[in-house]
Structure 1
């Protein structure tokens, strides 16, 4: 039996198991990731964040001295990016004096992301360019169907802007939404359902690829704001998004976004891995 040291953290209740593996000496199998994320048999989490020096990641061709966020979904699948995860990742590295300074770059499968640590304990992540595809998709859930917007935040999203009369709370996200055409997302997607509160204030629920419904999704919040801003013509500005796990803010400037919110470490421990 293998044992691994970990911390548990969350950003607006989007929770993660964080493991520091500087030299990439402790790779995790899909089964091990699923075990760690199991809320009964393991630690519990929406995913695993493994901190590895970028020089040890074969596909990375950037700065070798950055910390690389090797993110895995709860089902063991690899994800390109995780907005809430970047903040928890950075918080733990800072707490352990593995990074220093108010602004720090980290490496992800979606590229370099800059973290800014604020005096109130929140962390902001420069999420880079947000891409909106002009070709919509159809999203289906529980016998209902909507037009969805395809958004790239380093990972894929389908954003549904609900009509004012539709109740966000009544959606059954224990069931995975589907979409058409299926080939729009050959590797699956995150699906966000959004209700407008006012021009710069939204509410969102999400079904995450590889995790199911989660209390929050940072990249989903960014995708939501970009879609709303484009659809209404509001454009640049600061937007608040309420998710079941709390509140996040997005500053939109052109096609770039900065996501800001809390990042909390709640436990340290040692976990067993299955034989």
Structure 2
């Protein structure tokens, strides 16, 4: 089976985007792993599928697979690439889109400067909605592992996130703590782990160990999660610049019960086809 694809990136977070509207296919987990393999396949953090709309209320369906073959609910950087892809491929002429993901419906706005703004939805803090094992909802929790005890915030941005504040992001124990926290038993569906350094109320630095992918240059949902946890804890203002290893995202959140809005770049790298 020969499959056409487009390689895209958003702040260095890279994706293989596949149109399953004009070509009919269903990928197995092993095929996703083959595509994502940087030596034997194309290489990417995630594989994104553009699908027909599952209902009249949305423009497209959007499926997201991590490099390990597992399907996940949401990806902010991928959503921006998704928006650029469907416009560049002539699948839509709209500048404002509604897209169905496994985590819910998201809204995408294509800006005139090739930036894309994404309505990432309302953050969910209730433990059973993250999901996270806790007796009640709280702004912070203590998490224990390997004789360590750390204070975290937990939130769902359509996918589960754990956020830790650190004094200096460059010295954060991401390679050590990331894989342990990703699979911590209190997160039954695993978790994305964000390490955040607060520079000022309107500026943070962030590194994210992503569930099923490891540390990536950028994570859109991770940037949103870090911002809303920081705002809820009183560290941050309503508009925050988030500096990730791959570049900067702008995040806006007006507060409880409101959507989080993320703005950042997305671009096409190359197109091709792969035999599966």
Q: TM-score, normalised by structure 1?
A: 0.88
What is the distance in 2 between the residues matched to 1:243 and 1:122?
Answer: 17
Give 2:70's aligned residue.
77
Give 2:233's aligned residue.
231
The answer to whether the 8 A contact 1:34-1:76 is kept is yes
Number of residues of Structure 1 aligned to a counterpart in Structure 2: 261
Among 112, 119, 127, the residue aligned to 1:126: 119
What is the distance in 2 between the residues matched to 1:181 and 1:92?
Answer: 33
Give 1:98's aligned residue.
91
Give 1:51's aligned residue.
50
- What SS does the aligned partner of 2:71 have? coil
The answer to whether the 8 A contact 1:138-1:180 is kept is no
Q: TM-score, normalised by structure 2?
A: 0.88
> What pairs up with 1:114-263 in 2 under 5 angstroms?
114-132=107-125, 133-134=137-138, 136-138=141-143, 145-162=149-166, 166-175=167-176, 176-179=178-181, 182-232=184-234, 234=236, 237-255=238-256, 256-263=259-266
The answer to whether the 8 A contact 2:224-2:251 is kept is yes
The answer to whether the 8 A contact 1:139-1:180 is kept is no
What is the distance in 2 between the residues matched to 1:120 and 1:139?
Answer: 45
For each residue in 1:215-266, what CA deviation from the matched residue of structure 2 results, as whole angstroms up to 9, or x when unmatched?
A: 111000000000111111655x211000000000101112321011001111
Tell me: CA distance 1:51–1:40, structure 2 relative to 1, closer, same or farther (3 Å).
same
Shift of residue 182 of structure 1? 4.1
For each residue in 1:23-60, what CA deviation from the matched residue of structure 2 results, as whole angstroms up to 9, or x when unmatched?
A: 783111111101111111111100100111033xxxxx
Give 2:41's aligned residue.
42
Larger proportion of strand: 1
The answer to whether the 8 A contact 2:208-2:219 is kept is yes
Shift of residue 174 of structure 1? 3.4
Over the aligned positions, Cα root-mean-square deviation in angstroms equals 2.1
The answer to whether the 8 A contact 2:198-2:235 is kept is no
For each residue in 1:151-204, what CA deviation from the matched residue of structure 2 results, as whole angstroms up to 9, or x when unmatched?
A: 110100000012xxx331123433434349944311100000000111110000
Q: Which runs of 5 or more structure 2 residues have no equivalent in the other structure?
A: 126-136
Tell me: CA distance 1:41–1:219, structure 2 relative to 1, closer, same or farther (3 Å).
same
